[in-house]
Structures are given as structure tokens and as C-alpha cells.
Amino acid sequence: MTQDAPLDAGQLNTYFALMEVSSLLHHAVEQHLRADGDISYVQFQILARLADSPGGSRRMTELADGVVYSRSGLTYQAGLLEKAQLVTRTTAKDDERSVVVTITDTGRALVARVLPGHVDVVRRLLLDPLTPRDVTALGGVLTRVRDHMRAAPPRSATPRRTRKGQP
Amino acid sequence: MTQDAPLDAGQLNTYFALMEVSSLLHHAVEQHLRADGDISYVQFQILARLADSPGGSRRMTELADGVVYSRSGLTYQAGLLEKAQLVTRTTAKDDERSVVVTITDTGRALVARVLPGHVDVVRRLLLDPLTPRDVTALGGVLTRVRDHMRAAPPRSATPRRTRKGQP
DNA sequence: TCCAGTTGCTTCGAATCTGAAGCACATCAC
DNA sequence: GTGATGTGCTTCAGATTCGAAGCAACTGGA
């Protein structure tokens, strides 16, 4: 296993900086979206993902997997979005259990409306203080970490989840 | 202000990777702390910060500023921690309004107990896939971003907060 | 001294989030 | 078929979160 020793100062700093930066960025984005479009970050993520999907549709499970989110939480959010006329929910033709969420024109319009401001926040807080080279390097390292995380599931395997990887 | 143009693929990738990595790491750490010590990440942060403070004490406001957290949320968490005998709350001698939170021996013991596992999770998910050089670079870039974020408050200045910067 | 404004924290209500349990459909082995 | 399991989603109760409002204590100037 990994060694059993404390982290050195540099490692600690990296860890803390990562958590704080993401937390601050999350807060800022959340605040902007609430003020500008009256939606939360999760809702925006859902809408953006749908807008980017073929036919503007996704099944609930696909959405939950994409956004890091609980199933019940997604049901709740989908309910809110549906009430706000931003998405519709229909049962899938091929599987009576599945629910297909589809973004409406109103939903697309909302995404289009808040996107510039969203991008602006990200640029102002995250990208502005960095050189293009920095951005590339940061992206490279984080992508590596992300892939590693996705590949290595938590020690306690998620219960009641299909292990799609192993046939 | 910042230009009004969409982000290029690299910038988008960096942004998304950052959000996903931090989210996954947060979840993993949260899960470990819950399983190993029956506390949340916020609670751990509070305890760790206290353990690292002179006399094991901090005023509520100092804590709230350190952790990115709302005042009322901190009150709630402090209440939980106090009920669990992990901290004590006393009013400050020099300011009748201030509440001084102090970590107990039980609290210190808990931090000491969960810390190795916590470190292990961070190492396993975040540090393992990176070279020492990567870690340093990542820390450097993120530190720069953090400083930038701290310096540049949100467009809508926080209400009812002293603008310490401008005399 | 007295009073208005500020500050530190808590209380309150409403919104959100989660895991466990429940329900209905699907699938597989027999 | 038919029963046993598995899967997709929702419902539920409880915990956590936040902002606004409230309360008490401090501060500065008249």
C-alpha cells in the first residue's frame, strides 16, 4: 500500500490549495448562477450536460453518473427543473423503468443566457492569474489525477452499483 | 474587464478537471472520515485547525474565516462538536460577545486517530499518480490562484463584512 | 453619560442533500 | 411460464446548509 508517513509541507500545501481553490470557485460560480439565472450549480450542470447530449436527452442514471451526485438528489433536482419548465421527464420506450430527461427550449435559452457570465467568472477567478502554459500544465496534471481517481474506486466498493468494467 | 469569448478546449478541460477532481476527493475524504471517526469533513477541518492553534483555541469568527463556511453553519457544527465532547465553548474574557472554541483531549485524540487514514486517502487519490515535480508545480499554480481569489472579492462585495482592506 | 452604529454569535425558517426503504419493471435460470 | 434477482427511479425521514432577522455587547462621538 501507500507508505504510512505524514505529508511534507509541499504536499500539504498542494492538497489544501486544491481544496480551497475549488471551494472558492464553487461558491463564486454558485452565487453567479443564482443571481443571474436563479439556478444552482448542480442544476446548471444538469442543463449543460443535457444541452450537450444528442436530442437534448439523457436517462437519469447517466446524469447521476456524470454529475457527482446521489440518485435521490437527482430526482429532487429533476423535479425542480421540470416544475420550472426547463426539462421534461418521460419514460423510456425500450425500458419501462427508465426515465428520460429532455431539456426544453426554455432550458436551452436559460443555459445560453447564463453561460457568458459563467465563463466570465471562471476566467476572472481561475484563468486570469495564469499563463496559457500554466493552464495547460494544470489541466494535464489534473486530468491525470482524474483518470486515476476514476480508475481506482474507493476502498469500500460502492454497494448496489454495476461493476460495468468487469464482464 | 476580461474578454467576452468562450473558453477554448484546454481551458474548459482544466476547469472541468479541477471541479471533478476536487469533488471526487472531497467525497472520498468525507466518506473515510465518516467511516473511521464518525465526523464530517467540516468537523475535521475545525478540529484540525483548533489542534493546530495556540492553546487549542479559536474564536468563532476566526474559524469561520478559515474554513469557507457560513456563520450559522459554524454555530451548528460547533454545537454538534460540543455535544460530542470534542470541543468546549466559553465566552472570551476580553469581549463578552465572542465565543472561544477549544479542542478537548478527546478531540485531539480523535484527530490523531483519523489523521493517518485521512492522509492515506489523500495520498492514494491525489498524490500517488503524480511525480514530486508534478506536486510542486500543482501546488505552485494553485497557490497563485488562491492568492488571486482571496485578493479579488466577488463582484458583489459581501454585505455586512468589514472591508479590512480599504482604510 | 448617552445614543447610534457596529460587531459576534445564535435562532429561525426554508431549501437542499443523503441513505435506506419501497415500488415497478426486467432479466435470467430453470 | 415462474420465481428469484437485479435494476431504475422515487419516496421518506433525518441531517445539514444558508440567509435573514434577532439579541447582546462593544465602540465612538456628542
Query: DSSP state, B94?
Result: S
Considering only residues 62 to 101 of chain A, which have any Cβ-Cβ distance to chain B shorter than 8 Å? Answer: 68
What confidence score (pLDDT) does residue A2 get? 57
Specify burial of residue B50 (Cβ count, 10 A radius: 0-12, 13-18, 19+): buried
CA angle A117, A145, B113 (to 5 degrees): 105
pLDDT digits (tens, 9 = 90+) for A139-162: 999 999 999 988 765 444 344 433
The region that residue B5 occupies, defined by phi over 0 for left and psi between -120 and 50 for alpha, beta otherwise, is: beta
In the structure, how far is the CA atom of residue B66 from the C1' atom of nucleotide C20, in angstroms? 35
| pLDDT attached to residue B3 | 63
Q: Which residue of chain A is at minimal alpha-carbon distance from B26?
A: A19
Give residue-wise pLDDT tens across range B66-87: 887 899 999 999 999 999 999 9
Instruction: Tell me the pLDDT band of B6, cut-offs 50, 70 and 90.
Output: confident
- Block means of pLDDT (10 residues each) for chain A, 167 residues, are 76 93 91 91 94 94 85 95 96 93 97 93 93 95 92 49 33
- Work out the pLDDT band at B156, boundaries 50, 70, 90: very low
Measured CA to CA, the distance from residue A86 to residue A64 in angstroms comes to 17
Cell readout for A43 is 442544476
User: For residue B1, what pLDDT is reported?
Assistant: 53
Contact by Cβ (8 Å): B101, B57: yes
Specify the nucleotide whose C1' lies closest to residue A75 (CA). Answer: D10
Residue B131 has pLDDT above 60, yes or no: yes
pLDDT digits (tens, 9 = 90+) for B21-36: 999 999 999 989 998 9
Amino acid A73 CA to nucleotide C11 C1' distance, rounded Å: 27
**By percentage, how much of chain B surpasses pLDDT 70?**
88
Asked whether residue B28, judged by its CB, lies under 7 Å from any atom of the DNA or RNA strand C, the reply is no
Long-range contacts: A26-32, Cβ < 8 Å, 24+?
A26/B19, A26/B22, A27/B68, A28/A121, A28/A125, A28/B149, A28/B154, A29/A118, A29/A121, A29/A122, A31/B154, A31/B156, A32/A114, A32/A117, A32/A118, A32/A121
pLDDT > 90: percent of chain A: 71
